[in-house]
Amino acid sequence: MECEKLLDCPFFAKYKDVMEGDTYRLFIDSYCCGPLMDRCQRKLYEQTHGTSPSENLTPSGYTLKNSKPAA
């Protein structure tokens, strides 16, 4: 099973090229295709507030401080 938002997730669109491979895979395997799918803070935020969260909000609930990833 895979999160229906994975391909369009602003977080992954912004950070996929700058995240370390292991970190990226951990998020995907845990929150997008794994046991923590129902705990994704991005999805919970959207359900609660009716709008998408900041693209800097991680699936685990931490907000990354930099607004632009390094090129």
Summarize pLDDT for 50-67 with one digit per residue, the tens: 999 999 999 999 998 865
14 with 55: CB under 8 angstroms?
yes
Is 68 inside a domain boundary?
no
Is 15 inside a domain boundary?
yes
Domain holding 18, by residue range, is: 7-49
Our count of domains for the chain comes to: 1
Q: What is the structure's pLDDT at 71? A: 46
Is 18 inside a domain boundary?
yes
Rounded Cα–Cα distance for residues 45 and 39 (Å): 10
Q: What is the structure's pLDDT at 38? A: 95
Q: What is the structure's pLDDT at 65? A: 83
Is 71 inside a domain boundary?
no
Mean pLDDT calculated for residue range 20-30: 88
Is 65 inside a domain boundary?
no
Is 17 inside a domain boundary?
yes
pLDDT score of 69 more than 80: no
Mean pLDDT calculated for residue range 44-48: 96
Task: State the amino acid at position 43 in one-letter form.
Answer: K
